[in-house]
Chain A
Amino acid sequence: MRHGKYPFIIGFLAVPVALYVTFVVAAYIQTFQLAFTNWSGLGAIEYIGFDNFVKLWNDDLFWRSVGHNLYLLILLPIITIAIALVFAFLLNVGGGRNRGVWGSTGYRVIFFFPQLMALAIVAVIFGRVFSTDESGMLNGLFPDSWSPWLFLADERWALTCILAVAVWQAVGFYVVLFSAGMGSIEQDIYEAAELDGANRITLFFRITIPLLWNTLQVAWVYLGIAAFDCFALINIMSVDRGGPDGATSVLAMLIYRNAFEYSQAGYASALGVALFFLTLTFAALTLRVTRRDAV
């Protein structure tokens, strides 16, 4: 299969490469370029050197947003994978006698439902769940004499609420993904381990996890991406979009508002550059961790 492979390669890759070059590479070059201007989004473009980056360095909200990005980037994958693993395990081998718990097929459908609901709709519903007055579903559960929990309006808890919703939405997909992985583990292995006296917990840590390692790595990458996408949730759910008082602000939110609301396209581009390097770091770390997969 050596002759004439280049026509195929060039033919097959021309369109995607052209798309990447225009939509991603060229777009990034322009972002880097705009980061050195004070362009408002309209009119003349003036170069101002590193001013945007100095401003960014001294911007308290920027650092807090980076912190929030990291918080989501670390906790979303860890919590989601942990919950999904436990439930996939319950569904597959958690019930008595190597079977899943009762009705495990039904669960699989139930767990997938949040995945089918648009992030936007999820955000709207949970806005209602967390609502601070008595119409809020959670506050409605408690007696009237209690002072209502503020949830999204409380600086300390707002981001945690967002994280909880993101986990809620993501977890079903990974239950299904891990279930499929677990289904391909030979039943004999479990039975042999049980004969040797292993209990559920030993089975989980000594057999299931090691045999699922590759799938776990893939899950980590996708959840990392999902963590960057939390902007959509925050955009709809949070008080004052990124509030209260910047408590749920993330980089993407700062970029969006600077670019399309505050007419600060130059500064937004500088934030875009910062986001680019944050993503790059995440990608590099991920590649290091998953390196044993043949590329």
Chain B
Amino acid sequence: MARHDEDVVTVGRSRAGTVTANTTGILFGLIMIFPVYWVLNTAFKPDSEVRSFTPTFFPASPTLDNFRSALGEELFLPSMLNGLLITAMAVAAALVVGFLAALAIARFQFYGRRAIILVVLGVQLVPFLALLIPLFLMLQKANLTNSLIGVSLTYLVLLLPYTVWTLRGFISGIPRELDEAAMIDGCSRPQVFWKIILPLTGPGLVATSVYGFIQAWNEFIIINTLNSPQKQNLMAWLLYNQTERGTAWGPLMAGAIITSIPVVVFFLLIQRNIATGLTAGAVKG
């Protein structure tokens, strides 16, 4: 969209209004960024500076000690690996299962379709905590407590509604004429799904995988309830094991930064697609 800067008539646009808008923007931006900056600030401070009662805005003598001590903790690396495995399994499964379910809902008319849509929406609203007791019993019976598989399955169920709902929006946005044209040209139905719909749903798959990754990576209540300390993810480890030793702020913040790295990297890789992905799904939802 070309903007004709010089031609635009600026009636009703006062300079004062522009300044107010910019000032509000800057203030708000500062509020948003401050805690993030404070995490970084604390993580690089030596212990003596962290404990000092007069907070300083920059570490006087920056150090990596906090990162070393976080990484050196016995269960840090195993927890990180657990978290990555669980997240990868849950997200991959949610994409495959969710894509197929969304296909069925978006492309076929059948008895009970509306009921399924309502159930999907309903499950998304159910606070999972209400189900934690039966879930625990169920997984215990299946010998899946204290296992990465059990947690992944639970996360899969948590991620599915959003995945199905978003992908359904994307698939509905692909014109049916495209399917029909491909079938006239000799594509079988699975080929249509595989060669036409799947590639066109790309941005939707990206958006849902980001959402899924963030959700699964950051979850800590379910995994802490189901698993022993050896089978935690990084988030649960950070909260429940590190803080037990008192408030070691430096290492805690360093751990927080390390924990956020995968999410940030993932976000940076796909950030161009994210806004389109999110809205396309949302608007058609």
Contact = CB atoms under 8 A, between A and B. Distances in A.
Contact of B108 (A9, A120, A140): A9
B135 A27 contact: yes
B283 A214 contact: yes
B138 interface: yes
B21 A20 contact: no
Contact of A113 (B10, B36, B239, B249): B36
Given A8-B104, A8-B189, A110-B29, A116 B264 contact: yes
A225 B125 contact: yes
B269 interface: no
Contacts of B1: 186-187
B260 to A, nearest CB: 6
Nearest to B8: A97
Interface in B206-264: 214, 217-218, 220-221, 225, 235, 238-239, 249, 252, 256, 259-260, 263-264
Interface string A1-34: 1001110110111011101101110111011001
A97 B5 contact: yes
Given A24-B157, A31-B133, A87-B28, A179 B275 contact: yes
Interface in B1-36: 1, 3, 5, 8-13, 15, 17-18, 21-22, 24-25, 28-29, 31-33, 35-36
Nearest to A227: B127
Contacts of A129: 35
A218 B95 CA distance: 21
A5 B110 contact: yes
Interface centre among B97, B129, B239, by most chain A C-beta atoms within 10 angstroms, is B129
Contacts of A1: 179-180, 183, 189
Which of B13, B32, B97, B252 neighbours the largest number of chain A CB atoms within 10 Å of its CB?
Answer: B32
A5 B69 CA distance: 58
Contacts of B36: 113-114, 117
A194 interface: yes
Instruction: Give the size category of B's interface with A.
Output: 35 or more
B103 interface: yes
Nearest to B38: A125
Contact of B25 (A91, A112, A202, A221): A91
Given A27-B138, A97-B8, A140-B55, A9 B104 contact: yes
B26 to A, nearest CB: 8
A120 to B, nearest CB: 5
B279 A215 contact: yes
Interface in B112-127: 114, 116-119, 121-127
B88 interface: no
A5 B108 contact: yes
Contact of A19 (B114, B160, B238, B263): B160
Contacts of B103: 8, 12
Contact of A176 (B15, B278, B283): B278
Given A23-B154, A101-B21, 5 more contacts: A116-B214, A171-B32, A218-B283, A252-B130, A256-B132
Interface of B: 1, 3, 5, 8-13, 15, 17-18, 21-22, 24-25, 28-29, 31-33, 35-36, 38-39, 53, 55, 97-98, 100-101, 103-104, 108, 110, 114, 116-119, 121-127, 129-135, 137-138, 153-154, 156-157, 160, 164, 179-180, 183, 189, 214, 217-218, 220-221, 225, 235, 238-239, 249, 252, 256, 259-260, 263-264, 267, 271, 274-276, 278-279, 282-283, 285
Of all A-B residue pairs in the complex, the 3 with the closest CB atoms, nearest first, are A272-B130, A30-B134, A12-B104
23 contacts: A1-B183, A1-B189, A12-B100, A13-B104, A15-B100, A23-B154, A96-B13, A96-B15, A101-B21, A101-B25, A102-B22, A118-B259, A120-B235, A135-B55, A181-B283, A194-B8, A194-B10, A194-B12, A260-B225, A272-B130, A272-B133, A293-B285, A295-B114
